[in-house]
Amino acid sequence: MDGQNDNCYAGWEAGQDIASEEEYQQATSWLANKLLNEHTPGHLAVIAAQHMIYVDALLATKDELTRAHDAARQLIEAQREIIQAQRGLIRSLEEIEDKRRGAIVHFTAKFSMAALKAYRAHISDKRAEAVRALKGDVKAEAQRIAKDKWSKDLMQKIKKGEMAEEVYNELLNTEHRKLVISTNAVKNWITPVTPPYASKRGRSRN
């Protein structure tokens, strides 16, 4: 029966697809008969040896390809890990940069506030110094006016309080008017130039 099937088989060619087990057996039988008819046993042994070596080489190549595939897959995984590590490093650097910028902004603001505070203190000191100088000027002017008036008070009737009022009124008409607060302040200013009689209790000339 098998012989009849072999005689009916058209033959096998390289690259031909084998669709079933029966066709595989037919192709094998046909090719075996063809080889026996065309080659000597010695020649067939050589072909078989070459086939075995070729198959072994194919298996070795397959193993190498498998190892290469595994190595490539491991390399891809390693590259993915490197990319993830690089992304983490970038995020860390961005966080460090943000912190650095924040520290710079904080330091700049703190330094600016300190500089502004120092400037304001300096301006305040200068202003206070200027006010003291102006007060010294108005005080000297008050003493000059009082001293001049008392030098003309031949009857020695102008008391200290009355003189303070006169000096106060005159200072209001000068550039020192903003620094003249009250007659009591003027009274204190003219104390050093007040003659003894003007400090005694008694009625004023009015």
pLDDT at 14 (0 to 100): 78
Q: Is pLDDT larger for residue 189 or for residue 103?
A: 189
The answer to whether the Cα torsion of 164, 166, 167, 169 is positive or negative is positive
Tell me the range of 57-61, 185-189, 197-201 where mean pLDDT is highest. Answer: 185-189
In the chain, % of residues over pLDDT 90:
28
Mean pLDDT calculated for residue range 151-167: 94
Alpha helices in the chain (DSSP H): 2-8, 21-38, 41-151, 160-171, 183-189, 196-199
Instruction: Please tell me the total number of residues recorded for the chain in this structure.
Output: 206
State pTM to two decimals: 0.40
Checking if the pLDDT of 70 tops 70, the result is yes
Q: Residue 93, Cβ neighbours under 10 Å: how many? A: 10
Average pLDDT over residues 145-154: 95
Q: Classify residue 19 by burial, with Cβ atoms within 10 Å: 0-12, 13-18, 19+.
A: exposed
pLDDT of the residue at 1: 45
